[in-house]
Chain A
Amino acid sequence: QSALTQPASVSGSPGQSITISCTGTSSDVGGYNYVSWYQLHPGKAPKLMIYDVSKRPSGVSNRFSGSKSVNTASLTISGLQAEDEADYYCCSYAGSSTWVFGGGTKLTVL
């Protein structure tokens, strides 16, 4: 159950697009289409932004999108806004009803 690999930080200016990667193995990210992304603001409950690789929950802006290629999933945020500044975590099913998270990425909006 090794953590998925995410960049520690990414940054972008308002209006730009950024992509956060999440690299695992064929036993987790590559083996299932069960990758989720969460947004964490300090002191608040984590918020689900993407599930099942690319599906958006009701109420989540269409500026957020997800994809996957082989063992790497990606979260793209387009039209960056100040309120997008937060920590983002990926999560993947890892078989046998266990789950694994990424190490987290701090997004800074410049």
Chain B
Amino acid sequence: EVQLVESGGGLVQPGGSLRLSCAASGFTFSSYWVHWVRQAPGKGLVWVSRINPDGSTTNYADSVKGRFTISRDNAKNTLYLQLTTVRVDDTAVYYCARVSVGAYHFDSWGQGTLVTVSS
């Protein structure tokens, strides 16, 4: 069974940092693009970032470029998102999701981890 399990969310002050993790199991993690998508409370889904199977290519939404860093450890089957210089509007549930090579749809999602930015 394909599983993606996020962790690392919590309360952080504006300007602070946090690292999110997404542990993958049930599939060959190193063969998939993986993405982060976030959802502010009561709001819609917003794409955040993606990384290719070997970690050599990364892309970011303009709203997080320069502040967030996506990375992966294929030996540990884990995806990461390092959040720095966080803002109140970064408050959201952060989901990881996988995409097959050559595809453009998120076919499996984690359950999400909540990041709250507040003083």
Partners in one complex: no
Binding site for A on B (CB under 8 A): none
Binding site for B on A (CB under 8 A): none
